[in-house]
Chain A
Amino acid sequence: MASPTSESPTPKPLPTPPPPTPAPTPDPKDKAKFPTADKYACAAMEALAKDIADKIEAKPANGDKTVYPGEDIYNQALKDAKAAGKNDTEAKEAARKALKDALTDGNVVDKGTGETLADKARREWEGAQRGNPVPAPAPVKVPLAVPPATDYMNKCATAGVPLPPKWGDPAWVKKGNLSQVFASKLPTTEVWVAQSPNGVCYALPRIDSGGTIQLLGQICQNPKTGRTCFWDNKDPSDGKTGLAVTPGLGPEKMAGGDKLEENCTECHRGDNAFIVHPGTALEFSGQNPCSGGGSKPTDVAAGAKYTPMGAPKFQNPPDDALDKKLKACNQCHSIPKLSKSYCGTVLEGMIRSKEMPPGGDQSDPDTADDIKTLRAECAKL
């Protein structure tokens, strides 16, 4: 082994002072100017990119040693632009644009929370709007203590699936209400989301006319692995008796995918666990807050597959034979093995409401053929 050198002992380092506060940014409370989280996040990313670029460019003169978010991207773009023959001003413009694009495209993440900086800005807006900050996504340390955690929670957490916060926890953010009624006859469906470093949890409280939450289904998915867990406000002892929803109701008291009598994956199957009706509160914003448009809440990464966790009946089976018959739908997403529930609740609903294909034009011959094929296959069930 290498022996220590004869240098003097290193003096005790001075504590690192907090970093400089970023320049003033747009006000997330200003709903007139920023009516949506995306509008705010876009403005915030543009302001942040300018602030960072100003500081990077000032470094040679002021000796600042701070490493700024996206600085490597700025420097690489500057180098590339100069190599391409651009002058100093043009190269700096190119570097500033690369930095701004990186921030808005989600290519710069927060080291503490794993969020993109755009998502962090969205969270800031949500907190400012409701007057109660949305806490930073915090990792869960596994294994969890059993009890109070259930074995199912432990298996999910160990597999990297986020766990739903207790009901009423500030980590739940309300995204809005659904205008349509599906998968339940209760008149009101709210959409709540909780983000975690490992993915996202959705809760869809179904509320009766008296304002009482009758159903509180929760699904959490890790987009990197596709692993997904399910909970519902049912008594774990039989998996079917409803539990009253009160603040503090958490997954440790609810039946999970291992105990539920109902098989969630009869409907929740396909590329993603979440069934997203386009244009509703279920839809997540696109990654880039400046580009508009929605996206699926979790795009399971290439090479990974949405895999439900729970009792053996929780499956996500593909149907290769069906896939070979399709020409249009599977250009964007797969169609899973059909089930009665999937046909009735998901497929037929999407077709009738013209939510699919995007834009609603079902006159394209390939799309029309696919609809006929799928309806014919569903009729056989």
Chain B
Amino acid sequence: MAYISNGLWRLTPRRAASVLLACSIVLGMRSATVACVLYDPNETPKVVDLGPTPVPPMTTKELAEILRKARMPQAEAVATLPGFVQESTLDFLGGATYLKVTLDRAFRSEIYHFVRKDDRLNFIPPGREGWNEIVNHFDVSVRDPDTALRYVQWLLDATSEGSFWLVQSVDGVPFLPENREDKSHQARIAEARAKLEGKVEAPRVEAKEGVYLVQQDAVVGRSLVRYTVRVSKLGLPTVETTTLAEDLPVVSVG
């Protein structure tokens, strides 16, 4: 997570000139509308009738075949290891399909992220390179605060490395498993939980002067980190991080 420890970094996309022009125009307009949306972590998603059975998700074998044809180096691992593929459609990438494949390697799952649009399939590497891959190779369109929040959450998650959890309340913090026999262990977790009660905030997004300002908390390693991401309508992000708490008794990721 070297890019996070830098505190502030900026993307340098290939489309820099066009983005800069677009941003200048938007900034010049000084939008009068400022929208702020708070997300209630307790709100239960609505259950809807989706009608007939959806298309089953892609299997690892099917994905491996696509990767093999594209001569991508992940093809062999995807073909030989058991696992599963999760698919979702990304409206902010023009309806591109996000493919997250989890491969069941002994002692450590291997996770690959891909974005598929038309006849292209791009591997999304972790970290800053992943952000660059998205901004440089896809037409990102962020047109409202809700999309800005989902875009930033997806980017953070899909390009994360190691121990990383997006959180919207203290309930999402992956504390160490409870041990009912070890009172001091329980006390340590209870203390940390109490300490974080007022610190973890629900994600929020604000439209401000032609860009969106997204605030999202995450547990990174053993720290609680607040991401403040300014994202343009073309998806160009500028990330600032603030560490809110350290040395938390949370699980580590293998």
A residues near B (Cβ < 8 Å) are: 1-10, 12-13, 15-19, 22, 25, 44, 48, 67, 69-73, 76, 102, 105-113, 116-117, 120-121, 124, 133, 135-136, 138-139, 141-148, 151, 154-155, 158-159, 224, 287, 299, 301-302
Contacts and interface: CB of A to CB of B under 8 A. Distances in A.
Nearest to A148: B53
- Which secondary structure dominates chain A's binding surface? loop
Q: 6 closest Cβ contacts across the A-B interface?
A: A112-B109, A69-B254, A112-B102, A13-B129, A9-B14, A4-B16
Contacts of A147: 53
Contacts of A151: 47
B178 A301 contact: yes
Given A9-B14, A135-B104, A145-B54, A109 B253 contact: yes
B226 interface: no
A9 B13 contact: yes
29 contacts: A4-B10, A4-B12, A9-B16, A9-B136, A10-B132, A19-B105, A44-B107, A72-B221, A72-B222, A73-B252, A105-B179, A107-B252, A108-B251, A108-B254, A109-B251, A110-B108, A111-B111, A112-B103, A112-B104, A112-B109, A117-B254, A120-B106, A121-B107, A133-B82, A133-B104, A142-B45, A147-B53, A159-B44, A287-B179
A172 to B, nearest CB: 16
Given A2-B10, A135-B82, A117 B47 contact: no
Contacts of B161: 67
B86 interface: yes
B72 interface: yes
A126 B86 CA distance: 25
A10 B12 contact: yes
Contacts of B190: 302
Given A69-B253, A108-B254, A287 B110 contact: no
A133 B102 CA distance: 15
Contacts of B186: 302
Interface in B31-51: 44-51
A107 B251 contact: yes
B25 interface: no
Nearest to B190: A302
Contacts of A120: 106-107
B48 A143 contact: yes
B74 interface: yes
B20 A4 contact: yes
B176 interface: yes
A110 B254 contact: yes
A3 B22 CA distance: 11
Interface stretch (B139-147, B148-156, B230-238): B230-238
Contacts of B64: none
Contacts of B109: 110-113, 136
Interface string B118-138: 000001011001001100100
